[in-house]
Amino acid sequence: MVIAPKMVYNYPMRTAARKILFTLLSCAVLFSAAVSCSQSEPVITFGFIQLVYYQDNEKPQERFSFFIIPEDEDGIENLEEIYLYHDRSQLRWHIKSDDWISYVQDGTTWIGTRSIAIDEDELLPRGQFRAVLVNKGGEKSERSFTFDAPQDPRFPFPTLEINGGMYTASSAYPSNHLVCYDEQGNYVFSAELAGLSGSIADLGIPSRARTAALWAEDAQYFTSAITYVISLR
């Protein structure tokens, strides 16, 4: 008669202990899963380097456009910085998430910059490059890229004139586009030029476009040139 009350008294205690143990184990599993996710390495699935010649008063200035397709289990917003190295020249460029350009093309997100440059009197290096992608957890991955464009431009720098509703371009590049901007300098439209002269009205340019530049491209060598922006009027 004395034992029964003790058994009734201890049963809820054992049940509660089991619940607490189960809860702790569950939390441990969830915590472990969260930690393993945050420690996953980001991945550079693809990327490219493009050399762009920008018009300047004395001579064209070189800049690299560098973009990658990144992957991270915690999303693109978990990525923090990109480094681009040219080890042979001991050069390094650092691109922070606040500074890089992000755009979506055909459902794929690209991140990178169009502003990689060195001193005005020096050419950008060619050859082997190494990109390192780092996420907010400090995990990183790297991938190598090769850029072998000729040291000297293959074609003379192009020119563009617009007068009386007509455009005239001078370009030996295989592909040429008229790139248009609004009053604030925002990109609004691009038209491929079938010929190096013609009517502006035939290009289907939106009415909000106010200025334009000639973008000339040599896709074989990932090289382009862009002229100064001039008025469409």
With beta carbons less than 8 A apart as the criterion, state whether 111 and 91 touch.
no
- What pLDDT is recorded for position 233? 87
Residue 41 φ then ψ, to 5°: -80, 140
In a domain, 154, yes or no: no
- Report whether pLDDT(31) > 90: no
In a domain, 153, yes or no: no
CA pair distance 77, 108, nearest whole angstrom: 15
**Distance separating the N- and C-terminal Cα atoms of the chain:** 106
* Helix or strand (DSSP H, E) at 155: none
Confidence tier at 35 by pLDDT (50, 70, 90): very low
Q: Which residues pair with 145 in a beta bridge?
A: 129
pLDDT tens by residue, 132-156: 999 999 999 999 999 998 999 999 9
Q: Which of 1, 20, 23 minimizes the C-alpha distance to 12?
A: 20
- What pLDDT is recorded for position 34? 39
With beta carbons less than 8 A apart as the criterion, state whether 173 and 216 touch.
yes
Mean pLDDT within 195-214: 97
Q: Do residues 100 and 179 both lie within one domain?
A: no
Q: Do residues 89 and 170 both lie within one domain?
A: no
- Report whether pLDDT(25) > 60: no
- Domain region containing 216: 159-231
Mean pLDDT within 117-127: 87
Find the angle CA(208)-CA(213)-CA(219) to the nearest 5 degrees: 120
Confidence tier at 5 by pLDDT (50, 70, 90): very low
Give me the amino acid identity at 115.
Answer: S
Please count the CA atoms within 13 angstroms of the CA of 209 that sit on its side-chain side. 23
- What pLDDT is recorded for position 58? 84
Mean pLDDT of the chain: 86
User: CATH number of the domain that 124 lies in?
Assistant: 2.60.40
Q: How many domains does the chain have?
A: 3
- What pLDDT is recorded for position 17? 40
- Report whether pLDDT(2) > 60: no
Mean pLDDT within 73-78: 93
Strands 197-199 and 223-226: unpaired
Q: Do residues 131 and 203 both lie within one domain?
A: no
Q: Which of 147, 170, 188 is the last residue of a domain?
A: 147
Q: Do residues 16 and 50 both lie within one domain?
A: no
- What pLDDT is recorded for position 3? 31
